[in-house]
Structure 1
Amino acid sequence: MKIWTIANQKGGVGKTTTTVTLGGLLAQHNQRVLLVDTDPHASLSYYFGIDAEEQSASVYDIFINKDPITADKVLDCLCPTKVDGLFVLPATMALATLDRQMGSAPGMGLILKKALACVADEFDFVLLDCPPVLGVLMVNALAACHKVIIPVQTEFLALKGLDRMVHTLTIMGRSLNKTFDTIIVPTMFDRRTRAALQAQAKLMTDYTDNVWQGMIPVDTHFRDASLGQLPASVLYPRTRGVGAYRLLLKTLGAGVGDEQ
């Protein structure tokens, strides 16, 4: 089972879009995929029409459970989607209280890693959608993953957020004695604007070894797909945006073909 964390300490850069689209592509290639929503805003959950506040269990229950984590307990929290092989571990607003409740508790940063280990035989890929703040949720997502994907909107302020995220990975790497396999993904790229071209050039200059050579273009089909509660790869498989994510998936070495 491969675990990818999609993270950035700036909001609105395409984290959830990246999580959903990559997850959809993997599921369409007959991979068993779990998408984990660790953001209290629950955008990933709502994308698929899941209101975790109305569910019997969510990722919050995994964190506050005092008993040993088991596969059955994790599986009980999952919600199916309209895509075969694609499941969601939903979020609730209660996640926002975790740092205050138990942020300093021993072993708190490894709960998600242990939970996912319990279902390692059930899934081929796990994609973790992170909140845009450094706290116990992002710490858990980083501790659990094999690869970190950092979507970065191609505009100046987003580059500042990237600097903070890279600094966080450096600190976390020392704490966990771990070297993060990181790829920076330029998103919302519009080659008609000078700002996007300059941001792309700066990314290539400042983060040469970690930046994906492609880019995810501005594509309104991503927004339209959310209205249908399905990944864009399902509803609009031939669009520019989905084609870009298909190329990214190949770069990530997911071991799946280029086409369905």
Structure 2
Amino acid sequence: MKIITVASMKGGVGKTTLAVYLAAFLAKSKKKVLLIDADPNNNLTDFFLRDEGLDTLEKSNLFQVLLGMVDVKDAIRSFSANLAIIPSTPELAKAHVELANDPGSMIRFQSEIKSLKYDFIVWDTPPSLTYELFLALYCSNVVLSPLGFSRWTFQGFSLIENACRKMKSPDPIGVPCIVSRKDSERIYESGLERISKSIISKNIAYGKSAILGKLLPDNSPLWDELRSLTKEVL
């Protein structure tokens, strides 16, 4: 099992898009994949489970699992034969208060998810240094950080690097994401280390996909870019 965290301190760089489509590509490749939405903004949950009522989401989600109120297997929703999701709700924002003084909660949750029968687990995380992000990093053996071309993105990448060192996680790999070819070249010239050669190109269809909650068709060039990325970093 590989456990992958997608993390960034900067919003709008394609973090959730990368998590959604990376997991979907792996599932299309006949791998069993579990997505974990660890962002209280719950955009990933909304993408896949927008038809599920708030009452059921609030009764069984990541926060409830972390509190020990729900078994992890009971929080998993199937999206397709190979893709499943553990959802979140805005209530997850209370995790820092409820669990920050319980370091054993990270150990317990890591043990729980490693007992599951999946080839890959992919985390979407909040753009902040919170309990949820550190939990994902603690559990992961691959960390991908989507990058746009801005000084704030580069500074955020440095914060992710420091967080990985704190949690003894692998060094993050920067992925130029939702960028033009020119901006990807600027990222490569920035001096940052561990940047993937593969990029996710800027395309208006990705934004529409997120709004509609529907994956792009199989003929979209995004799938070829994901094939290149997974071959390189996984």
Query: Whole-Å Cα distance in 1 between the matches of residues 33 and 100 of structure 2?
Result: 28
| CA deviation profile, 1:130-163 (whole Å, cap 9, x unmatched) | 1111121111101111111111112332112112
Aligned partner of 1:249 in structure 2 is: 230
- Report if the CA contact (8 A) 2:37-2:87 is conserved: yes
Query: Where does structure 1 lack aligned partners over 5 or more consecutive residues?
Result: 174-178, 254-260
Alignment of 1:60-99 (within 5 A): 60-65=63-68, 73-81=71-79, 83-99=80-96
Query: Could you tell me which amino acid in structure 1 is paired with residue 198 of structure 2?
Result: G
SS at match of 1:161: helix
Alignment counterpart, residue 147 of structure 2, candidates 131, 135, 152: 152
Deviates more, 1:181-190 or 1:220-229: 220-229
SS at match of 1:188: strand
| CA deviation profile, 1:147-196 (whole Å, cap 9, x unmatched) | 111111123321121121112222222xxxxx51532101121135xx55
SS at match of 1:5: strand
Query: Could you tell me which amino acid in structure 1 is paired with residue 72 of structure 2?
Result: V
Query: Whole-Å Cα distance in 2 between the matches of residues 206 and 123 of structure 1?
Result: 33
When the two structures are aligned, how many residues end up with a matched partner?
231
Q: Is 1:6 paired with 2:6?
A: yes
| CA deviation profile, 1:55-103 (whole Å, cap 9, x unmatched) | 231111111116xx8xxx212111121x331111000111101111221
Alignment counterpart, residue 167 of structure 1, candidates 162, 166, 191: 162
> Over aligned residue pairs, what C-alpha RMSD do you find?
2.0
Query: Could you tell me which amino acid in structure 2 is paired with residue 180 of structure 1?
Result: P
Q: Is 1:33 paired with 2:33?
A: yes
Give the TM-score normalised by the residue count of structure 2.
Answer: 0.90
Q: Is 1:53 paired with 2:54?
A: yes
Query: Whole-Å Cα distance in 2 between the matches of residues 106 and 168 of structure 1?
Result: 16
Shift of 1:228: 4.3
| CA deviation profile, 1:86-131 (whole Å, cap 9, x unmatched) | 1110001111011112211241332431220231xx2111101111
Aligned partner of 2:126 in structure 1 is: 131
Give the TM-score normalised by the residue count of structure 1.
Answer: 0.81
Query: Whole-Å Cα distance in 1 between the matches of residues 24 and 103 of structure 2?
Result: 36
Which of 1 and 2 has greater Rg? 1
Shift of 1:48: 1.1
| CA deviation profile, 1:222-253 (whole Å, cap 9, x unmatched) | 22323443333xx2x23233321221011123
